[in-house]
Amino acid sequence: MRRLMVFVLVLSLCLVTHAKHKQESKVNYGVKAGFSSTMYDIIRLEVNSAPISEYSAKSELSSFFTVFTRFNIKRHYLQTELSYNISNYSILFPSHQWDPSLEKSQQSVINTQINGLELPIYYGYHILKDGPYGMSFYMGPKAKYVINEHSRFLFTNFPYSDIEEEILPLNFSLMLGLGVSINRMFFDFSFEYGLHNISQGIKSVDSEGTPHTQGIIFDRRKNVLSFSFGLIL
């Protein structure tokens, strides 16, 4: 029993020393994964040239996986990331807004799933750095490359068919977050503010077979709340 206690004590000291070495390294690598909630600032929403002013939004659970590199300078750090993100969102509104002859109970729905690669660069500062415990805030720009081929857009109860939306291939936003760490484990909470309209346009065909590019307009900025759990390797 005494030998076992000595072994556990030595192993614990080794793990603490290893964790401290990792934390104080000039360069760290790590992984994290988490969930996010996407919200849109609607800039312009029109169907059949009729503005849609009454609508409700539903933010569905989104997910992401990230690998990162962190460059440490005392209490400061720079972090670069590569993340694969799946963003889900839906919006619904009474169809009579674009066709008064329809019943008020009838709803038009837009479901979106936007997949892409995200490339943020953060500046961070450790507010608290005491032994294995730490707290930091970070901020910086983020670029997202949208993979339209793997994204999905579903339009229900619209006066058009063959509806396809193109999202701008590059989206830009600003990030602000707070991180809490224990040894090599950490939790991140962040907010992302979109800087511009992400929609490149919506193509559709009416009942007479005429193609349209202005039949449906859904201009919006993307804002995201995120939570993640990660490990510094």
CATH number of the CATH domain containing 89: 2.40.160.20
Torsion of CA 48, 51, 52, 53, to 10 degrees: -170
Residue 12 lies in a domain: no
Residue 154 inside a domain? The answer is yes
Length of the chain counted residue by residue: 233
Q: Which residues of the chain have pLDDT under 50?
A: 1-23
CA distances from 59 to 51, 90, 137, 222 (A): 22, 7, 26, 11
**Cβ–Cβ < 8 Å for 154, 132:** no
Question: Does a structural domain hold residue 11?
Answer: no
Asked whether 62 and 27 are in contact (CB, 8 A), the reply is no
Rounded alpha-carbon distances, angstroms, from residue 18 to 24, 118, 132, 183, 232: 10, 31, 11, 10, 12
Answer whether residue 84 is part of any domain.
yes
Domain ranges, residue 66? 27-232
> Residue 213: exposed, middle, or buried by beta-carbon count in 10 A (0-12, 13-18, 19+)?
exposed
Q: Is residue 19 part of a domain?
A: no
Helix, strand, coil share of the chain (percent; to 5)? 10, 70, 20
**pLDDT for the residue numbered 1:** 43
Distances in Å between the Cα of 17 and the Cα atoms of 108, 140, 206 are 59, 32, 68
DSSP, collapsed to helix, strand or coil, labels residue 137 as strand
Beta-bridged to residue 81, according to DSSP, are 68
d(C-alpha 134, C-alpha 160), whole Å: 54
Q: How many domains is the chain partitioned into structurally? A: 1
pLDDT of residue 24: 62
Judge whether 15 lies within some domain. Answer: no
Sequence letter at residue 26: K
Cα separation, 3 vs 199, in Å, equals 66
pTM of full prediction above 0.95: no
In a domain, 7, yes or no: no
pLDDT attached to residue 130: 85
Phi, psi at 118, each rounded to 5°: -110, 140
Whole-number pLDDT of residue 233: 85
pLDDT of residue 206: 87
Residue 61 pLDDT: 86
Predicted pLDDT at 137: 96
Q: What is the pLDDT at residue 59? A: 81
Sign of CA dihedral 129, 135, 140, 144: positive
Within-domain flag for 17: no
